[in-house]
Amino acid sequence: MTTRTAATPQTAVTPRTALTTRTAGGPVTATYWMDHAWLGTHVEPDVTVEVADGRIAGVRTGVETPPPGATVLRGLTLPGLANAHSHAFHRALRATVQVGSGTFWTWRELMYQVASRLTPDTYFDLARATYAEMALAGITSVGEFHYLHHAPGGTPYANPNAMGEALIAAAAEAGIRITLLDTAYLAAGFGEQPNRHQLRFSDTTADAWAERASLLKGDDHTLIGAAIHSVRAVPAGQLATVAQWAEERNAPLHVHLSEQTAENDACLAAHGRTPTRLLADHGVLGPRTTGIHNTHLTEEDIALLGSSTTGTCMCPTTERDLADGIGPAVALQKAGSPLSLGSDSHAVIDLFEEARAMELNERLRTHIRGHWTAAALLRAASADGHAALGRPDAGVLEPGAPADLTTIALDSVRTAGPVPRLAAETAVFAASAADVRHTVVAGRHIVRDGRHALIEDVPGALAAAVAALHH
């Protein structure tokens, strides 16, 4: 393993200890033999994938026995899963926010309390454990929608990207790829200054945000993208600055969009148009852009998103947890908006559940079954998710693609019984994250037989990181 030291996370007045982390290592050459693999359209038995320099060099079918030296992956092997929308620190809210009742807005107050306690060190610990949980769930790449930039009160750290670099280091230690979507979050609402909780989030202007974000650096496992928190959090006149920053770098651009009807109402009152129309008018929409949630849309909104091929990231487990509603995913996809999936607030971390929930939500809403095939749902959880995170070559088992693999058991109490040719349907409609047996990133075995290879005790790491924020 190689060693990498993140920039020292410290406040302007108080030194902190540097975060030291190990990366996933150098390029890997290996051979994997799979008794069943999903090749995009069907399940194929007896497949060998050859890896060179961390990428798939060859795919061979009809290989009835493992070649000498090959690593055997028993079950159904899929392309690595993409979690297109994450707020790592929300993992500390699991169960805590299930006490009592309320709305999205009361949930947000509890979220602010956790955010106020984070430091670069404690954020690293929590993110490292959360990303390890993702690896155990078969996720090989995460889109981290990152807006917790500064110290409490809004004072910049001596290293202005201490928090973002902590997330990058955490993903490296957990062995997964990250697209850090550095987020502009400048206002509390239309014409409102940030509240005391949001001072940590704000760079005060989009130009100042762009100056800080430009200091972030990617690497083999890290891409740097941009995000607009929402139309209520970035003044309309500054939206184009963020969009231009992303365009100049050919970087992904994400935005929370119409998650709540209250946001739509406030936008109409302030600008006389919907959030989607406001984004369109300021040049934010387009094929590198992904709207998160896209829940409460007009027909015109759907047409604007589809015609611009702006993506849609659905986060069904969070949307149902927060009582947000069911977004028009079918209509969006038909209009031309590619679908991806995210675990968002991490009520659970399970991309199979996200895929299943998107279909089952539509069944409840329409009283009709079968809006998407298992193949389409797997694509949303893999290839289209990776594309939304700036990796359009990922999410397929084809030569030239990153050698990122996820294998689920076909002999667990959830998956046993169906014939192998229905393994894709089994994965989407019966399997869970608990069925993941192997996760491979860039050809390197990160999860082997259900155990994380880099972090010995992931549950213990999660418990300790969460406890540190609730004491």
Does the pLDDT at position 20 exceed 50? no
Q: Which of 196, 194, 195 is nearest to 204 (CA)?
A: 194
Distance CA 73, CA 53 (A): 20
Q: Is 293 a catalytic residue?
A: yes
CA distances from 320 to 262, 344, 346, 418 (A): 17, 12, 12, 29
In the prediction, which pLDDT does 108 show?
72
Q: How many other CB atoms are there within 10 angstroms of residue 344's CB atom?
A: 27
Cα 41 from chain centroid?
A: 24
CA distances from 326 to 38, 296, 321, 333, 359 (A): 29, 8, 11, 14, 11
In the prediction, which pLDDT does 95 show?
75
Tokens of 120: 């670069």
- Ranking 42-46, 106-110, 203-207, 432-436 by mean pLDDT, the lowest is 106-110
Q: What is the pLDDT of residues 265-317, one digit of tens each?
A: 999 999 999 999 999 999 999 999 999 999 999 999 999 999 999 999 999 99
Tokens of 119: 């430091």
* Burial category of 413 from C-beta neighbours within 10 Å (exposed 0-12, middle 13-18, buried 19 and up): exposed
Q: What is the pLDDT of residues 330-366, one digit of tens each?
A: 999 999 999 999 999 999 999 999 999 999 999 999 9
Backbone angles phi, psi at 72, to 5 degrees: -90, 130
Q: What is the mean pLDDT of the chain?
A: 92
In the prediction, which pLDDT does 15 show?
28
Which of 125, 182, 344, 435 is labelled catalytic?
A: 344
Amino acid at 166: A
Task: For residue 230, list its beta bridge partners.
Answer: none
Q: What is the pLDDT of residues 135-173, one digit of tens each?
A: 999 999 999 999 999 999 999 999 999 999 999 999 999
Task: For residue 314, list its beta bridge partners.
Answer: 341
Cα 447 from chain centroid?
A: 19
In the prediction, which pLDDT does 18 show?
30
26 pLDDT band, cuts 50/70/90, is low
In the prediction, which pLDDT does 104 show?
65
- Determine how β-strand 43-52 pairs with β-strand 30-38: antiparallel
Beta strands in 1-124 (DSSP E): 3-5, 20-22, 30-38, 43-52, 55-61, 71-73, 76-79, 81-86
Q: Which residue has the tokens 């740097």?
A: 224
- Ranking 115-119, 132-136, 277-281, 457-461 by mean pLDDT, the lowest is 115-119
Q: Which residue has the tokens 């002999």?
A: 411
In the prediction, which pLDDT does 28 show?
76
Q: Which of 458, 435, 444 is nearest to 175 (CA)?
A: 444
Distance CA 366, CA 27 (A): 48
Tokens of 159: 């290293």
> Full-prediction pTM beyond 0.85?
yes
Mean pLDDT of 92-120: 78
Q: Is 344 a catalytic residue?
A: yes
Distance CA 326, CA 337 (A): 16
Which of 87, 149, 282, 293 is labelled catalytic?
A: 293
Mean pLDDT of 443-451: 98
| Residue spans of alpha helices (H) in 88-235 | 104-115, 120-136, 162-174, 206-213
Distance CA 251, CA 227 (A): 10
- Determine how β-strand 177-184 pairs with β-strand 139-146: parallel
Does the pLDDT at position 128 exceed 50? yes
In the prediction, which pLDDT does 27 show?
63
